[in-house]
Every structure is written in structure tokens, then in C-alpha cells.
Amino acid sequence: MNKLIVNITILILLFLNVKEGYAQCFNCSSQYPAATQTTTSTSLVNVSTCMWGGDYAVFDVTAGETYTWTTCANGAYDTQLTLFQGASCGGTDLDDNDDDCGLQSTITWTATFTGQVSVLVSEYNCVSNS
């Protein structure tokens, strides 16, 4: 009985490691759009209709506000999203997602600070691509 519990626990830990390895990307190529994005809208705002895998956008955020970044309306390629703290891509990883809606991704995050975050769009598996 104890051996079965140990095997199940190991299987769960392996699954968590696989998820983390595939959704968290650091293939930062260039900032697009070039300007920092700011919004006070309570509905989704289109930042770009065409981002390449490896592009990242920078956003101003306010502590306590909830933000959603999604590629779910666009099926151009299998996306992954990674949210970083700060204006430069590849900083502290705050959240990541792969395949939330089919092959597309969504991050919903409540800001714990006022400042800037970067959202990296990658093609599966952490690929920069046009």
C-alpha cells in the first residue's frame, strides 16, 4: 500500500515539472509594439493583430488590478505566453501558460505591485518564429 502512494506522488511531481518546462520561455527577440502599453479598460483591448514568436510587449500595471493577456482569438500558430516582472523580457517569471484554449494561451494575473511587466509570445516549444 505505501509503495503505491509513493509511485503516485512521484508521477504527480514529474507532471508538474513537465508543465513548468514547456510553458516558461526565455526566447526574447524584440519588443513589439515598441511603445509601453497602458489601459484602464475593463474589457479586452487589442494590442496587436500580428506578433512573431519571440516578440514581447511591455505593459504598465497597477497593484490590485487584474489583467488578462490572450491569443485565444487568433489561431495562427500554437502559442505560449510568459509574464515577466519589469520592462525587459526575461526577468522574474510571474506566470506562464500553454494551451489554455486549444493551442492558444491565456494569462489572467492580479498585479501585486505598480510598475511594468513584459509579456512574451512564443511559438510552441519556446520558438521564435515569424
Write the pLDDT tens digit of every residue in 15-28.
333 333 345 889 99
Q: Are 65 and 108 in contact (CB under 8 A)?
A: no
Write the CB contacts of 69 (distance below 8 Å, at least 6 apart in sequence): 81, 83, 106, 107, 119
Residue 56 pLDDT exceeds 60: yes
Predicted local distance difference test score (pLDDT) of residue 23? 57
Predicted local distance difference test score (pLDDT) of residue 21? 39
Write the pLDDT tens digit of every residue in 92-126.
999 999 988 888 999 999 999 999 999 999 988 88
Residue 80 pLDDT exceeds 60: yes
Give the CA angle between residues 38, 40, 42 to the nearest 5°: 130
Total-model pTM: 0.78
